[in-house]
Structure 1
């Protein structure tokens, strides 16, 4: 059985994290993704590039399963080849600002003019029509503007979440929006225009549980969510380490109160329902932290599992590579990259049923321009046209192409579970 997006062609003219994460997901779900890169390539190629190969770890992760074409879109020839790619595409994804998209022929009007069935997905910092519409935006700016940094910092002042949360969340939203648009095209036969704005996406994400009394008009109370705002909400210190414990339902709190020898607390008016417990969450978390400190991590894990109370160790990033559950489920895979050698990468976590098996379609991240020639040929250019583009610099490919299989099958590499 094929992966669900088998046969879908995506032209990806995005860079950094957000758009490439969206298109990586589409590739992992079966789509054929052509990544159009400028001279010099996507800037993330250089992040952590300790080998000096323009194949840094972020790029290797977020651009798996794509083919790279190096096009100079400032040249007529580069834009003409891009247009050919667009005419054959089901989806076009970019994170260009509107004026740049217009210049390069990637505005929604330009794309649908040459391919009326295309899904045009544009990532933007801010939605069209507002005073911020033309501003540049990156993850940190959106974490601040959406309220995420203020919530994360709490009373101590604003702080960023220590991962590119906005980029990745908006990338996920973009992937979902593309799938919805493809379904709409299946019904209507017409292309779809999709705008995925970062601020609006993250504001909605934050307000889901944080809007509080401001759901009502006029407001019936403050914004925010007391449980996540509690200064006591943190991994609990045990006798020999730390443990994450999340007690939420009535049954879980009754089980915990019994566990610590205080079953009568379940009848306390302050703790009987989730509403009352949320209002008094600082007291409950202080009680939890006090008791966690009396036993070892292993003792508590066994006890809480027996009582069906959610708990888990506090892993470092390095711990993930030896986690027994991730090992048992085959979360990591080994990949023999054609230029970077052996890699260990996380598999895409979504399973589509037993018949799809494990992913064995293109998984490696491409060298800059690795597939320029094969994609140009697929787009219908003859050797003379390709030669002219190469001479002008509008099209380029790696000088060492020994690893590139001319029939296009060289991008399909065998994978296996990491031992």
Structure 2
């Protein structure tokens, strides 16, 4: 969600002129991370999931990401059970890899000035602080454009600033409820429910990372930065509308909203004799092969099922046929039959099954890394690959404030100035 983290009025700050690479007082070492975003520096003032997903995506592609936390740290550090260290939850570790970390108390003038010095030497600033808080601190797009004209300023908010909900706090369940995500379950099952993961945070974070990439591309051509607003509600509503606006896409509507196939209660893994299987024939060739597989070839000539439009209009009956027939054989038997006929099908994986999935083992999806304080950790590698090169180094998620001295030194602070920041409490 956009953070409630408030910021004080804008005090005097260290002014830096020129482009980030030329900024006075900034010692910016050449990046050696590899990946398509090598050389891009990101200041990450985000918490929980939506912002860290965005900045982790940038980091995984080679960006140098500096995570700035308030004293006490990102609350995600503490929102999980089964931690080896109370401030290093599994979720925090997963969402904050490949980042370096610093703690700044931006309620203190010295801490806010230090943050602005970091931003002056950066390419991208990402926050999920509410816009009013950013403006009070002088971290709003207009103020930072003066400080760093090449800066890409990405603000992840709950609701777009042009609407009546602007400025309200929200977490993923609020957005799922308001955007129609929970409503899709209501239509399908008779009861509104949430997707049991913070789906709208994930989706919005990925959209924000995409938008930043586009803005960086435009800056390569224009030399000028820009501000990006990424509102969670509008992003989630867009996804729901794209899928379920349906016949209401026409004005006036040609029929009801909703994709009947996706809203069917049988749109799910279906029981077999010994477990579950998912089968999803879509084209005529696949659907007709499925009818052969279940021993019902006569259904190929059934007007309810003989075309994609007919199967969509009769989704409830089509899915009922699937459910009835799949219960007659074991999962292994069905998978063998469907594979021989090239019908899209898969076994059902629980969350625990993912850890042992053979395909994920083949592609090296699960990786083991060693953390200085947390020991051996399992992580999912970034699923995207680039033929031009991937990030070469892997950084475990940082302990709270772990890289403060190095980050400040790179921003031009002398050892004496760093000591003074610590003495003031601006850098705990």
What is the TM-score normalised by the length of structure 2?
0.90
Conserved 8 A contact 1:153-1:160: no
Partner of 1:44 in structure 2?
A: 76
Structure 1: how far apart are the matches of 2:325 and 2:224?
Answer: 61
Partner of 1:341 in structure 2?
A: 375
Determine if the alignment matches structure 1 residue 274 to structure 2 residue 300. no
Deviation by residue 1:38-83 (Cα, 9 ceiling, x = unmatched):
0000000012253344000000000001011100000000011111
Partner of 1:208 in structure 2?
A: 242
Q: How far apart are residue 157 of structure 1 and its match?
A: 2.3
Partner of 1:99 in structure 2?
A: 132
Determine if the alignment matches structure 1 residue 9 to structure 2 residue 9. no
| Mapping 1:332-371, distance limit 5 Å | 332-353=366-387, 356=389, 359-371=391-403
Structure 1: how far apart are the matches of 2:86 and 2:247?
Answer: 53
Conserved 8 A contact 1:244-1:311: yes
Structure 1: how far apart are the matches of 2:394 and 2:305?
Answer: 53
Partner of 2:271 in structure 1?
A: 237
Determine if the alignment matches structure 1 residue 220 to structure 2 residue 254. yes
Partner of 1:172 in structure 2?
A: 206
Partner of 2:342 in structure 1?
A: 308
**Residue of structure 2 aligned with 1:260, choices 269, 290, 294:** 294
Q: How far apart are residue 11 of structure 1 and its match?
A: 0.2
Structure 1: how far apart are the matches of 2:393 and 2:179?
Answer: 37
SS in structure 2 of the partner of residue 291 of structure 1: helix
CA-based RMSD: 1.2
| Mapping 1:282-297, distance limit 5 Å | 282-297=316-331
Structure 1: how far apart are the matches of 2:49 and 2:167?
Answer: 20
Partner of 1:415 in structure 2?
A: none
Q: How far apart are residue 337 of structure 1 and its match?
A: 0.6
Structure 1: how far apart are the matches of 2:251 and 2:235?
Answer: 22
Conserved 8 A contact 1:33-1:67: yes
**Residue of structure 2 aligned with 1:246, choices 255, 275, 280:** 280
Q: How far apart are residue 383 of structure 1 and its match?
A: 1.5
Partner of 1:21 in structure 2?
A: 53
Structure 2: how far apart are the matches of 1:219 and 1:65?
Answer: 48
Determine if the alignment matches structure 1 residue 132 to structure 2 residue 165. yes
SS in structure 2 of the partner of residue 295 of structure 1: coil
Deviation by residue 1:265-319 (Cα, 9 ceiling, x = unmatched):
1122211211110111111111111111111111110110111111111111111
Partner of 1:184 in structure 2?
A: 218
Deviates more, 1:256-265 or 1:94-103: 256-265
Q: How far apart are residue 264 of structure 1 and its match?
A: 2.5
SS in structure 1 of the partner of residue 402 of structure 2: coil
Partner of 2:12 in structure 1?
A: none
Structure 1: how far apart are the matches of 2:128 and 2:77?
Answer: 17
Unaligned runs of 5+ in 1: 397-419
Partner of 1:414 in structure 2?
A: none
